[in-house]
Amino acid sequence: MNVRRRLMPATAIAGATALSLVTLSACSDDSDSAGKDGKPQVVASFYPMEFLAKQIGGEHVHVSTLTKPGVEPHDLELKPRQVAELSKADVVLYLKGLQPAVDEAVGQSEAKHKVDAAELTSLEKHGSAVGGHEHGDEEGHGDEDHSAGEHEDEHGHDHGSEAGGDPHIWLDPAKYAEVAKGLNNKLAEADPDHKAAFKKNTDALVTKLNALDKDFTTGLKNRTTDTFITTHSAFGYLAERYGLDQEGISGISPEAEASPARIKEIQEIAKKEKVSTVFFETLASNKGAETVAEDTGLKTGVLDPIEGINDKSKGDDYFEVMRANLAALRQALGAK
C-alpha cells in the first residue's frame, strides 16, 4: 500500500522553530503564555481535539486550532507562525501519529503542558478490514443484540499504544470519553483554580457521549448486514464497538491507494454481503467510492470521519455529524 503524505521536512520544522523563537523574543509584552485576561492558551492540533478543549475548558480557556476548516489534517504543513503559537501555549492538545508535522513541532516546542490524546486511551492496530466475522457465514443479524462494550476485545487486534496504532479514537464515543476524562486532569494541572469547572464540564460531556453510544447501540440493532464499505478506513474503533465489519477501500490514511486486487476483493464482498452503499468522506477524494459503486451498481453516501467541520458537513459539531453518520449507517445496514 503506497501512502503519500505531504510532510514538512525536518529542516523546515527546525527553521520554523528558530524563526518562532525570534518572534517570541520580539514580543516582550506577551512573555507570559497566558492571555492578557489570565486565561490559559490551549492549542489543539485539529477539530476533534479542539472540540474537546472547548467543551471542557469552556469560558476559562482560549482555544485555537492548527488545522483550519476544510483542510485535510493528515496533510497539514505548519507555518512559522503556528510553530510560534505552539511554543507560547500553556497546553498543546494533539494526537500523535495522525499529523507527523505536528508531532515533530510539538516535540521541539516549549509548551508548558503537552497532552497526547493517544496516551489517554488505548490504541489498536487496524488495517483496511476491521471485524471478526467470516463473510457470508452468518445469518440472522436482526436477532443479535450488539451492545457497546461487548465487542471491544473480540476481534483479535493488537492493543496498546504501540507505534502504528490507528489514531481515529474519537469515532468511538466510549474512547472519546476516556480522552475527555484525561484532558480534564491535564487542564486542572494547568489551571488549578478552575478544576471544579473543568470537572463539571467533563461530566456533562461524558454524559452526552454515553447517550450517543447508547443511540448507536440501539440504532444499529436488527440490521440485515454487518458490513459497510468506506474509502477511508477510519471507522475501525466504531466497527469494533458495535460489532460491525469495516471494509476500507484504502488504509487508515485517506491518501492511501488501493491496489486493483483490493478493489476486486471489495467488489466481491459487496455482492456476497449484500452491501447497498459505498461511503466516502467530505475532505478527501471520492474516486475510489465511485469506481466501486459504478462497477457493482451500488449507491454512494457520506460517512464523515469528522476530522474537520466545513460547509459540506452534515452538522455543525461532533454530535450532530455523528448522529448523521448513525442515520447513514442505519440505512446502509438495513437497520429497523
pLDDT, residue 7, reads 39
Lowest mean pLDDT among 126-135, 138-147, 163-172, 251-260: 138-147
pLDDT, residue 285, reads 65
> Where do the DSSP E strands lie in the chain?
41-44, 62-65, 91-94, 113-116, 129-130, 227-230, 245-248, 277-280, 299-302
pLDDT one-digit tens code per residue, 149-158: 343 333 334 4
pLDDT one-digit tens code per residue, 281-295: 877 667 767 777 887
pLDDT, residue 61, reads 98
Q: C-alpha 158: how far from its chain's center?
A: 19
pLDDT, residue 128, reads 61
State in words which class domain 129-167+212-333 has: alpha beta
pLDDT, residue 263, reads 82
pLDDT, residue 254, reads 60
φ/ψ bin of 6: left (φ > 0), alpha (ψ from -120 to 50), beta (otherwise): beta
d(CA 152, CA 123): 12
pLDDT, residue 261, reads 85
Q: What are the extents of the domains in the chain? A: 129-167+212-333
Q: Is the pLDDT of residue 325 over 80?
A: yes
pLDDT, residue 297, reads 84
pLDDT, residue 26, reads 37
Quote the percentage of the chain above a pLDDT of 70. Answer: 74
Q: Is the pLDDT of residue 236 over 90?
A: yes
Whether 45 contacts 66, CB under 8 Å? yes
Q: Is the pLDDT of residue 322 over 80?
A: yes
**Distances in Å between the alpha carbon of 281 and those of 48, 71, 75, 194, 264?**
16, 13, 15, 38, 21
Q: Is the pLDDT of residue 326 over 70?
A: yes
Task: Give the dihedral of Cα atoms 21, 22, 28, 33; nearest 10 deg.
Answer: -20
Confidence (pTM): 0.81
Q: Average pLDDT of the chain?
A: 82
pLDDT one-digit tens code per residue, 43-102: 999 999 999 999 999 999 999 999 999 888 988 999 999 999 999 999 999 999 999 999
pLDDT one-digit tens code per residue, 3-57: 333 334 444 444 444 444 334 333 433 334 455 688 999 999 999 999 999 999 9
131: confidence class by pLDDT, cuts 50, 70, 90: low
